[in-house]
Amino acid sequence: MQETYTVYLIETRPVDAASEGTNPVPDSLWRRYSEFELLRNYLLVTYPFLVVPPLPEKRAEFVWHKLSADNMDPDFVERRRVGLENFLLRVASHPDLSSDKIFYSFLTEADSRLKALNATFRVKNPDKRFAEMKHYGDELQSVISQLLRVRARAADRLYGVYKVHGNYGRVFSEWSAIEKEMGDGLQSAGHHMDAYAASVDDILEEEEHYADQLKEYLFYADALRAVCRKHELTQYELEMAAQDLTSKKQQREELATGTIRTFSLKGVTSKLFGQETPEQREAKLKMLETQIEEGEELVKERNAECEEFVKSAWVDIERFKEQKDHDLREALISYAIMQISMCKKGIQVWNNAKECFSKM
């Protein structure tokens, strides 16, 4: 059996060509959705302090009954194409991600290779801000998921309401055939109902556009949590380095004083085989001093990495918040305007029908 999948054509042109007024033949290559996933996973690992733009859904979700859940459905493939294009544009416009060499090769070289990595750790002293942001990402995903489910149910019912108006149109048209004086009015009213019923497909297609905008931030919530997980890893590495340093210092103190504070294999062997010679103790002390110096440097490095991560990540999180607030505000306002327009259209249809009936 052969595998069937969709590929997407990516075309790029140099920016300086547009400024020079030339129109060169664009570079082009084909990419599968899975390659976009590899690119995004690479960006997540390489830029853990940035909120990496999300990909559109891999499979059809939150669809109302008239839309196909088939991944090869032309409408779904087109919506996903728009989402993938938006992902590339988001990355290309990002102040840091846009200059990445792997991203450039993804756009220009057909044989570019990427590897995906993932890790998560539980830390002892989590940063409250990142813990709250991770919780916010969970809540944002939950709220948008609920909103998309409600919208899908509303779309199902709306589709039924519109199509019922098609039945009005059919009944009025049939009725007009047996009425002499009222026939024209009934026929006209039927035409208005038919036109209203037929407009539902365009309206729900427009609704899908707004739903796709919400889905983008459904996946952005994953990107936000990924930044928080990377901070956990950075904090975990710092805590492990500090814990190892504390252990080495305790061993040095025990060797220097000859006391064993905690149960250990060293304490048991000392009782069984006798104490170490001064020369052995001195050699171990020197080795521990070297390890402690190295451990202190490692803790400083880990602490600096953690501080730099927090600084860089929080700058991009603030940028993401502004982008999110703007995008979702515009999407919700546009969706509300569309709903108002749709309701006005329904009122206008019945006003037209009323005029038709009054002329009978």
Last residue of a domain, one of 118, 135, 164: 118
Provide the residue range defining the domain that includes 203.
Answer: 121-257+285-359
Q: Is the pLDDT of residue 223 over 70?
A: yes
Q: How is residue 218 annotated by DSSP?
A: H
What's the pLDDT score for residue 91? 95
User: Do residue 33 and residue 160 come from a single domain?
Assistant: no
Q: Once rounded to an integer, what is the mean pLDDT over residues 272-287?
A: 74
Does the residue 271 lie in any domain?
no
Does the residue 25 lie in any domain?
yes
Residue 24, helix vs strand vs coil: coil
Does the residue 240 lie in any domain?
yes
d(CA 213, CA 210): 5
Say which CATH number the domain at 173 has.
Answer: 1.20.1270.60
User: Do residue 308 and residue 233 come from a single domain?
Assistant: yes
What's the pLDDT score for residue 317? 92
User: Do residue 163 and residue 305 come from a single domain?
Assistant: yes
Q: Is the pLDDT of residue 253 over 90?
A: no
Domain count across the chain:
2
Phi and psi at 234, nearest 5°, equal -60, -45
Q: Once rounded to an integer, what is the mean pLDDT over residues 154-168?
A: 83
Last residue of a domain, one of 99, 118, 137: 118
Q: Each residue of 108-126: b (16+ CB within 10 Å) or e?
A: eeeebebeeeeeeeebeeb
What's the pLDDT score for residue 22? 61
Does the residue 279 lie in any domain?
no
User: Do residue 106 and residue 136 come from a single domain?
Assistant: no
User: Do residue 14 and residue 156 come from a single domain?
Assistant: no
Q: Mean pLDDT in the chain?
A: 81
User: Do residue 200 and residue 348 come from a single domain?
Assistant: yes
Most confident stretch, 5-14, 83-92, 131-140, 182-191: 83-92
Does the residue 278 lie in any domain?
no
pLDDT tens per residue across span 20-54: 566 666 678 888 888 898 898 888 878 888 889 99
Say which CATH number the domain at 9 has.
Answer: 3.30.1520.10
What's the pLDDT score for residue 21? 62
User: Do residue 57 and residue 126 come from a single domain?
Assistant: no
Q: What is the pTM of this model?
A: 0.59
User: Do residue 67 and residue 191 come from a single domain?
Assistant: no
Q: How is residue 177 annotated by DSSP?
A: T
Q: How confident is the model at residue 115 (pLDDT cuts 50, 70, 90)?
A: very low
User: Do residue 198 and residue 66 come from a single domain?
Assistant: no
Q: What is the Cα Rg of the chain in Å?
A: 32
Does the residue 262 lie in any domain?
no
Q: Which long-range contacts (CB under 8 A, 24 or more apart) does 168-171 make?
A: 168/193, 168/197, 169/193, 169/194, 169/197, 170/194
Does the residue 207 lie in any domain?
yes
Does the residue 144 lie in any domain?
yes
User: Do residue 189 and residue 306 come from a single domain?
Assistant: yes
Last residue of a domain, one of 118, 145, 177: 118
User: Do residue 74 and residue 96 come from a single domain?
Assistant: yes
User: Do residue 126 and residue 58 come from a single domain?
Assistant: no
Phi and psi at 23, nearest 5°, equal -135, 75
Q: How confident is the model at residue 118 (pLDDT cuts 50, 70, 90)?
A: very low
| H or E stretch covering 234 | helix 200-257
What's the pLDDT score for residue 183? 86
Q: Once rounded to an integer, what is the mean pLDDT over residues 241-256?
A: 88
Q: Which residues contact 358 (CB under 8 A, 6 or more apart)?
A: 185
Asked if residues 258 and 167 have their Cβ atoms less than 8 Å apart, the reply is: no
